[in-house]
Structure 1
Amino acid sequence: MQKTLNLLTLAAAAGLALLTLSLPAALAETPRPGLLSAGDYAAGPLGSELQPARVQPGNGAVYRVGKWPTYTAELAAGPGRDATLGNCSMCHSVTYITQQPPLPAATWEAEVHKMIKAFGAPIQEATAKEIITYLQTHYTPETRKD
């Protein structure tokens, strides 16, 4: 009985090893719709998204991009700054906060709750209140100092 169990265990382990070894090759061979090469997709529908047609830039073409911050903005000093910086920057730059027009206090509260409920930000209620208070203290039309 023990010998049979050992043989079955050995066979199962060998099968798992073969499956594990062949898995990367199977994944590499799986066709991806519209994929021409790494990061390069054919124009046309890809799933439900229409991919843009390729455009060849003309000779002497010049493309300009307007100025944008290439740094992470400094948040205003005050209680709640560290909680705001630590929690908000888990998902996005805090530049999103400083580049917003001054928002009403109720909007900041709604924004924080949206990040938690709609986007799944793992922020505890007490910390959320601290962040909301900080944003309302520094980034409303009445309180914002540029």
Structure 2
Amino acid sequence: MKIHKLRITAGIAVAALLIGAALAEQRLGSYTTQNTGKIVQAKPAALAEDSEYEMASLPSFDAELANGAGRAETQIYCGTCHTPRYITMQPPLPAATWEAEIQKMVKAFGAQIPQADAQKIAQYLHEHYTPETRQR
């Protein structure tokens, strides 16, 4: 009796798997044509061999950092990840905050700034961009 029940149970399980697989197979990739609300873009015109085109240039807004020792290092290392304009857009920050910002860039964001250059950058920021020294 137990063997008979086991065969029926196994048979039902196999049948359920086969039915499930058949239903899943029917639904895969079976999409009807419908309006999705998208606008179809026009095909671009074919370019002939004698076609002319030009590349537009985008405006460049260099940060006007104060002149002084450490300016080049600041432009090079800070400008690797973001515009140096971030420095001039900040309110004047205390020296300790600038040092913490440099360490955050190195430790949290992986900025590859050698320690000697990080010190030059910190000194530059102390001399030109703290509440006491900010040049306007």
Name the TM-score, length of structure 2 as normaliser: 0.55
Quote the offset at 1:72 in angstroms. Answer: 2.1
> Which has the larger Rg?
2
Relative to its length, the structure with more helix (as a share) is 2
Structure of greater relative contact order (alpha carbons < 8 Å, 6+ residues apart)? 2
Matches within 5 A, 1:126-141: 126-141=116-131
**Partners in 2 of 1:135 and 1:103 — Cα distance?**
9
After the TM superposition, which residues 1-146 of structure 1 pair with which residues of structure 2 at under 5 Å, given as runs?
A: 71-146=61-136
* Structure 1 residues not aligned, in runs of 5+: 1-69
Residue type of the alignment partner of 1:133: Q
What is the distance in 2 between the residues matched to 1:123 and 1:144? Answer: 24
CA–CA distance in 2 between the matches of 1:131 and 1:108?
9
1:49-95 deviation line (CA, Å, top 9, x unaligned) = xxxxxxxxxxxxxxxxxxxxx71221100000000000000000001
Aligned residue type for 2:99:
E
Deviation at 1:115, TM superposition (A): 0.3
Q: For 1:72 and 1:95, how far apart are their aligned partners in 2? A: 7
The equivalent of 1:36 in structure 2 is none
Alignment TM-score, normalising by the size of structure 1: 0.52
Q: Number of aligned pairs? A: 78
Unaligned runs of 5+ in 2: 1-59
Q: Which has the higher strand share?
A: 1
Report the aligned-residue RMSD. 1.4
| Structure 2 Cα separation of the partners of residues 107 and 116 of structure 1 | 14
